[in-house]
Structures are given as structure tokens and as C-alpha cells.
Amino acid sequence: MKIFLTLLFTSIIIISCDVPNKISLTKLEGSPKYESSKLKLNELNFSDDKYNFSFEVENYELGAQTLNNSKLANSAKGQHIHFILNNAPYSAHYSENFSKKLEEDNNVILAFLSRSYHESVKNSNAYYFSQIGDGEKVDLEKEYLFYSRPKGVYKGIDTEKLLLDFYLINTKISPTGNKVRATIQNSEFIIDEWVPYYIEGLPKGKISIKLELINSEGVLIDSPFNPSYRTVTLE
């Protein structure tokens, strides 16, 4: 009898350990709003095979730490500008002036203000959206979704909660209108509010993420860079 109970208890432990983590998506709350913050391009020129960007930032301090208890991965360098080129992974810039070497003939550029833990500032004056280069132009009046977070490699406590954030241009999402479909590993979530979220319950290893801008009927909207795909690593 004792042997039977021991085997049963062992079996329960093994079965419990084999149950996969349940991935969840939760709205992130409590971030400073920065409703009056502004990002404006003052000057753009080309020299030494690079484009030189000079931005002006108002009511927002680059390099400062954002006050929040989110326990998300945070940049020790503080608040910054996310610079996205053709919906590729962003580069972070902690100064208003920086240079970029652009490889493609035509480049769609999105720059926006970011909190120190990489949440975008979502007001109508906090971003710059344009295209530069000599190649074939795209229609900037279309509806756009740009991927922002998560990104890269996460270690230690930073693996517990991952920020999911994206940027919308020329579109809104709502319960009755357009939406964002987020597929994280094999878990699907329908997002109808443009706010930041955090992901929990992820296993260690490679994590696949797909973001799609869809219409009210669940059909993928025909737009450049839609859908977006990323892979991040949890160690």
C-alpha cells in the first residue's frame, strides 16, 4: 500500500511538471501619460553616406528614468527615442541628434518617444512618420501597425513580464472596428484597445510573436509591413 501511494504521488508530481505554462496578456496600467510631450524633426541632411537627424523634444526628458512599478525590463540610460526603419527592430537613441546609414532605396521611418521601460508615448504629437530615399514610394495614408516590443534577449527577473507594445498610424482599434491579433507561441489574443500590455507565463527559450492589423471581420488589412513577425529569447 505504501509503495502504491508513493508511486501515485510521484506520478502526480511528474504530470504537474509537464503541464505547459499558460500564457496571459494583461493591460499595463499606471504609466505617466505625457499627454503634452512632443517630438518634431528640426533638420535632416545627408553627409558621409549617412542621414543626420536632428529632433526637438518638448515636455519630455531624454535620459530620465520613468516613474513606474511595472517591474519590466528597463533601460539604465533612461527615456529615449525609438527609431524604426521599415518596421525592422528599433534602435534606441538617448539624444535628439543622431546619424543613421540607410541601406534601402526607399525607407519608411517611424520615430516616437519611449519611456525608460520601452513603452511608447501614444499621443498625436509624440511621433515622426515619413519616408526618404530615391526608390518607389509607399502610400503613407494607409493604415499602419509597427511592432515595438518585446525585443531581443531577456534574462533573470526580466523574463517574468514582457512588455507588448506597438504603434498605430492612420488607424484606431475598438471592439466594433479594427483590431490587433497577437499570436504568442500558439496562443492567440484579440486586442481592441491601443494601450500597452504585458505577457506572462512564457517558457524559457525562443518565443515567436506575430502581430496583425485586422478589420472588424477578422480579415488582415492590406498594408505595408502587415503582419509583423519577431522572435525573442528568454534565458
Q: Does domain 24-234 have CATH number 2.60.40.10?
A: yes
Q: In whole angstroms, give the CA distance from residue 202 to residue 187.
A: 11
Does residue 4 have a pLDDT over 70? Answer: no
Mean pLDDT of 191-216: 98
Q: What does the pLDDT look like over 107-132, one tens digit per residue?
A: 999 999 999 999 999 999 999 999 99
Grid cell in block for residue 111 = 520615430
Q: Phi, psi at residue 146, to the nearest 5°?
A: -115, 130
Does residue 49 have a pLDDT over 70? Answer: yes
Does residue 226 have a pLDDT over 70? Answer: yes
Domain ranges of the chain: 24-234
Does residue 14 have a pLDDT over 90? Answer: no
Q: Is 109 exposed, middle or buried (0-12, 13-18, 19+ CB in 10 A)?
A: buried
3-state secondary structure of 22: coil
Q: How confident is the model at residue 20 (pLDDT cuts 50, 70, 90)?
A: low
Q: How many whole angstroms from its chain centre is CA 210?
A: 11
pTM over 0.85: yes
CB 24 within 8 A of CB 201: yes
Does residue 192 have a pLDDT over 70? Answer: yes
